Amino acid sequence: MTSRLPVFPWDTLAGARSRAAEYPVGLVDLTVGAPVDEVDPGIRAALAEGAAFPGYPATHGTAELRSAAAAAMERRFGVPGVDPTSILPVIGTKEIVAGLPAQLDLGAGSTVVIPEVAYPTYEVGALLAGARAVRADSLTQLGPEKVDLVYINSPSNPTGKVLGVDHLRKVVGWARERGAIVASDECYLGLVWEGEAPSILDPRVCDGDFSNLLALHSLSKSSSLAGYRAGFVAGDPELVAELLAVRKHAGMIVPMPVQTAMTHALTDDAHVDAQRERYRARRALLAPAVESVGLRIENSEAGLYLWASRDEPGRATVDWFAERGILVAPGEFYGPRGEKFVRIALTATDEAVAEAARRLER
């Protein structure tokens, strides 16, 4: 099975990592978007409370968790009318991205459309299911081709690009004309630095009709819960019920301590606001430093990355950063269209980001 999968991208950075680590005062790693900030004490207390539960938790999650997620969708993102029964907790959003085509019974003969510059797991999920992955940003370029699932990602990983209401409406209309499902990866929806980022479930986008629409949400970035593996799916009740049935059989259950922690995190906005401001401050420090050494930042109006180019092969730019003790990710990880870019993560400590900025500004 592994023969049909691409090489795990980060395994190819060993050489650059070694060079960066030789820098006299050490390596600053700006590759992976892994949170580094302390988990909110209230979330940790809720996790401990859930640890007392001795039985099997429900695959569908507790009623309290689903209600908290529905309320957060309306309060944080302006999405009213989400029925808590059409919310399903998942074991981290990467898990559902990788498993969604198979769980929706999209195998051989099915076509999954992914963005031209995209999080690698969209393609991996299609390949694991035996489906075909097609890269396309403009759905019109697909012509009359039958499409079963369309992945969109706004704000984008890696580019930070935001799709507006009009664009999302066109995607929804196009998919509905063809009976295709739209899965919108909205992991960075709460981390917008310029303008706004609407959800696929926003009434301005779908007119309140969630048919064939799934929004994928993560608490990894907004609440620093990457280690908890905490996410949820919301949208079309029939699709959620289909996923729930499969996941019951497979035992894909979010542990009860994580469910109680998620419930608290989705109820409390103060820690989310504080974390957003931490990332905003790091971006404000790092972006000018990156531009000061001749890189051009494109998009990046949201999310946790700077998408930057020196108009040269991205691996050459990775090596340039490594000589300064900074490790960044080559844009080729995200598709051929990213070949002349690098992705620079904001998910390092304040001290590490400040050190990276100092090295660049020298």
Mean pLDDT of 222-241: 97
What does DSSP assign to residue 31? Answer: S
Mean pLDDT of 123-145: 88
Q: Is 179 helix (H, G, I), strand (E, B) or coil?
A: coil
Instruction: Single out the residue of 195, 176, 175, 162 nearest to residue 300, CA to CA.
Output: 162
Structure tokens at 63: 């009623």
Q: Regarding the domain delimited by 51-267, which CATH topology (the fold level of the hierarchy) does it fall under?
A: Aspartate Aminotransferase; domain 2 (3.40.640)
C-alpha span between 252 and 354 (Å, rounded): 41
b/e code 241-253 from CB counts within 10 Å (16+ = b): eebbeebeeeebb
Band of residue 3 on the pLDDT scale cut at 50, 70, 90: low
Q: Would you list the DSSP string of 227-263?
A: GGT-EEEEE-HHHHHHHHHHHHHHT----HHHHHHHH
Q: Taking the CA of residue 103 as centre, how many other CA atoms within 13 Å lie in the half-sphere pointing to its CB?
A: 24
Instruction: Single out the residue of 333, 320, 308, 314 nearest to residue 10, CA to CA.
Output: 333
Class of domain 2-38+271-361: alpha beta
**Strands lying side by side in the sheet with 87-90:** 87-90, 231-235, 213-218, 181-185, 149-153, 111-114, 132-135
pLDDT at 145: 83
Band of residue 9 on the pLDDT scale cut at 50, 70, 90: confident
What are the distances in angstroms from CA 18 to CA 15, 23, 27, 28, 332? 5, 9, 9, 12, 20
Band of residue 1 on the pLDDT scale cut at 50, 70, 90: low
pLDDT at 7: 74
pLDDT at 25: 86
CA dihedral 96, 191, 284, 311 (to 10 degrees): 50
What does DSSP assign to residue 292? Answer: H
Q: What is the separation of C-alpha 205 from the centre of its chain, rounded to a whole number of angstroms? A: 20
The length of the chain, given as a count of residues: 362
Q: Could you report the per-residue pLDDT of 166-193, keeping only the tens digit for each?
A: 999 999 999 999 999 999 999 999 999 9
Contact 119, 185 (CB under 8 A): yes
The DSSP element (H or E) to which 28 belongs, if any, is strand 28-29
Domain spans, the chain? 2-38+271-361, 51-267
CA dihedral 34, 40, 45, 46 (to 10 degrees): -70
C-alpha span between 222 and 189 (Å, rounded): 9
> Looking up tokens 């009434």, which residue turns up?
203
Q: Could you report the per-residue pLDDT of 322-359, keeping only the tens digit for each?
A: 999 999 999 998 999 999 999 999 999 999 999 999 99
